[in-house]
Structure 1
Amino acid sequence: MEILLVGLSHKTTPVKIRERLAFPQNRVGDALMQLRQMNGDPQADLVEVVILSTCNRVEIYAVSRNAERAARRVISFLSDFHQIHLEEFQDTLYTRMNQSAVDHLFRVASGIDSMVIGEGQIQGQVKQALDLAHQYGASGPILSALFANALHVGKRARTETEINQHSLSISGAAVNLVRSQFPDLSEVNIVIVGLGEMSLIAIKSLLHAGAKEVTVVNRSRERIQNIVQQFAVRALPFDRLEQSVTEADVVICSTGAPHAILTFDAMQQVMKQRTDRPLLIVDIAVPRDVEPEVGTLPH
């Protein structure tokens, strides 16, 4: 048996491609099932599979009897599943086999390969990837042991080295960007769009930094109510997104939407109502929540 990794990351692939190849949470199970169905296929024969899909990387780890053949089949799967031509992303992919794949996962779990070196969020993402593979019957003894060892190595890296002494999450970096523009957050109107893990980290960091006017916008009313009970924030339903953005000084977007939620046309209308007030938008979602053209609007 051989261990295979096929992937792409912020180091190799621009966000405009990464966002199209990312696996939304609600599609990971379907992808795992399709990959597992290749078990017995002489062109792939994937015995075990785990998908690690985060804001900055998409990686498929597999166990196969022939890693070279399996790699070609996994690459074709990426193209077919996401409906994106192979020519658009093939040159940005990396392939690792056996010890090279193991070493790569250890670097990822340790935060060494992250966009923000040492960020701790990746450990939870690695564990979640394995848990999902278990849930759908896609993992097995080899990948389970590999991922467990990677998590152990990542934990040791954080406790026995100084890698996490000054580390940030992507959310923490976003909050630092906001603070660089608004040193005093106490009177800054901040809107958080989405309530995933990164949004929660941003909320905690903002409140700790002194923010007093934080509004959370989300589709799930139940999630909104839970957040209001935990934190001193205002909550609005998703149909009031444009209103909240119109009133904001800062918007941090981190949803799991498969498409942009702040479009160029919508933001044109928003900016007309802001009477020349500048607006800082920080988009930490992949796929992106904000159409890139929004950056060309004045203020």
Structure 2
Amino acid sequence: MLLCLSVDHRNADLDLLERIERRTESVTTALSDTGIARGAVVLATCNRFEAYLDAPGLAPEEALDGLARAADLAPSELANACAVHRGDAVAEHLFAVSSGLESASVGEGEISGQVRRAIDAARASGRSSTELERLFQHAVVVSKQVKHRTGLQTQGRSLVQLALAMVDSRVGDWRAARILLIGTGAYAGASLAALRSRGAQLVSVYSPSGRAAGFADSHGIRAVAPETLDAELRSTDLVVACSSVNEPLLTRGRFDETVTEGSAPFCARFGRLETPEPPRARPRLLIDMGLPRNISPDVAGVAGVELLDLETIALHAPIPELGAELEARDIVRTAAAEFAAVRAERDAVPALRELRAFVDEILEEEVARRRGRAADGERAGEVEAALRHLAGRLLHRPTVRLRELGRGGRAADGIAAVSALFGDAPVGS
């Protein structure tokens, strides 16, 4: 049976998601234990953590307990924040996730790539399974259908695009803004593209893993060395952090109250202007797209620094046009129903194999007998072709019927019927 344990931005706060994602490797290892599941795929993004399990006979409660232990959480704490999907519902959920329908910013496009990378990682580590491969490959196909048929992903904005829109008035002239990008992964590439679409030109990149130079060369920007990071932060107008780290990279100790010339202050909640005051220095803007966090939350308490994190971004996520979303969800439901039907049809395969094996054995014996009797080789070939054609026609209707029984959830009836009729018959009699 397929199981999905889902903790996302709607059910859990950022702190809980962060605590789970810091232990992603231990969670993945624990859930991939062959005593628990035949396969496991973990999807960890900036606003969700999900474990997809191919685990016949595993009770959801056992899976939740395993996840809680691996993530060092109390089972009750996890149970309150974790949604459990099982059986056919897993496909519909993943198809919706991969299409951007469950994202904080509905229709965001990055999630489909994250879904692909999740199954790629599971395959590379030997943690996938045939059933999970089918599930995730189908999810990728559905996300493409939603994108091309509804235009939802062109109407919705990614989280980084939404964040940049929220600070647009604070940045002013994007061409003159000094921007530091932290991270070199897929999300960093998407962030750089979003920055350039707004006209940003003065972008540099820093990588805690040492990959800044390669990323900078391939994208035509400047790399920041570890020893110059603090100086870079002092001269930067905007920081966009999207690196994979277990602990915050930018802590309060890295910041002071020295800021550059600029405009009036802005509320830390990014919602309204404060009471007018005399002109003061322009604050440094920090956007933290990381989960776990790249920037310590207490940095927001430093005068002259404004921090925008995932929680705030999610609160401001727009609602896309209703028609596109409804059409997308209809595509997802239809695809999930077909996926479930195909899975059920495969349950009838054992009956088909037994029936075909019975007929094929009789056929081969009869073909061999006719060959031995025929004096004319050409005539023998015609007889063999006729026999094989006849066998195919005789098998067609029961094959179709067995597949129909499978789709209808009655594969067991078909297996029982074939076994009763042919299983004990003396083959070749």
1:280 partnered with 2:266: no
Post-superposition shift, 1:220? 4.4
The equivalent residue for 1:61 is 52
C-alpha contact 2:252 2:298 (8 A) present in aligned 1: yes
The verdict on how the C-alpha distance between 1:23 and 1:153 changes in structure 2, with shifts beyond 3 A counting, is: farther
- Structure ranking higher on relative contact order (CA contacts 8 Å, 6+ apart): 1
1:6 partnered with 2:5: yes
Post-superposition shift, 1:75? 2.0
1:129 partnered with 2:118: yes
Post-superposition shift, 1:231? 3.0
CA distance in 1, matches of 2:75, 2:230: 37
CA distance in 1, matches of 2:103, 2:155: 14
* Structure with bigger gyration radius: 2
**Partner amino acid, structure 1, of 2:131:** I
CA distance in 1, matches of 2:8, 2:251: 25
- Runs ≥4 in structure 1, deviation > 6 angstroms? none
1:108 partnered with 2:97: yes
Superposed, which structure 2 residues align to 1:167-206 within 5 Å?
167-206=156-195
Deviations 1:22-47 (A, max 9, x none): 167xx54x64443232x34xxxx412
Aligned sequence identity (%): 25
Give ranges in structure 1 of 5+ residues lacking alignment. Answer: none
The verdict on how the C-alpha distance between 1:23 and 1:297 changes in structure 2, with shifts beyond 3 A counting, is: closer
- Which of these residues, 271, 280, 283, is aligned with residue 257 of structure 2? 271
Give ranges in structure 2 of 5+ residues lacking alignment. Answer: 262-280, 305-429
TM-score, normalising length: structure 1: 0.88
C-alpha contact 2:64 2:78 (8 A) present in aligned 1: no
Post-superposition shift, 1:60? 0.7
Q: CA RMSD in A?
A: 2.1
Superposed, which structure 2 residues align to 1:23-42 within 5 Å?
28=25, 31-37=27-33, 39-40=34-35
Post-superposition shift, 1:141? 1.4
CA distance in 2, matches of 1:82, 1:109: 24
CA distance in 2, matches of 1:182, 1:66: 55
Superposed, which structure 2 residues align to 1:27-106 within 5 Å?
28=25, 31-37=27-33, 39-40=34-35, 45-67=36-58, 69=59, 71-106=60-95
Deviations 1:186-240 (A, max 9, x none): 111111111121122121222232222112111344x322233233422112332
The equivalent residue for 2:297 is 292
Deviations 1:154-186 (A, max 9, x none): 110001112122222222223323323223211
The equivalent residue for 1:229 is 217
**Partner amino acid, structure 2, of 1:104:** H
C-alpha contact 1:215 1:236 (8 A) present in aligned 2: yes
Post-superposition shift, 1:92? 0.7
Post-superposition shift, 1:72? 2.3
C-alpha contact 1:246 1:271 (8 A) present in aligned 2: no
TM-score, normalising length: structure 2: 0.62
Provide the secondary structure at the position in 2 that maps to 1:164: helix
C-alpha contact 2:27 2:67 (8 A) present in aligned 1: no
The equivalent residue for 2:353 is none
C-alpha contact 2:205 2:221 (8 A) present in aligned 1: yes
C-alpha contact 1:21 1:78 (8 A) present in aligned 2: no
The verdict on how the C-alpha distance between 1:99 and 1:180 changes in structure 2, with shifts beyond 3 A counting, is: farther
How many residues were matched structurally?
285
The equivalent residue for 2:139 is 150
CA distance in 1, matches of 2:237, 2:259: 13
Q: Indicate the structure with greater helix content.
A: 2
Provide the secondary structure at the position in 2 that maps to 1:60: strand
CA distance in 2, matches of 1:144, 1:219: 33
Q: Indicate the structure with greater strand content.
A: 1
CA distance in 2, matches of 1:210, 1:272: 26
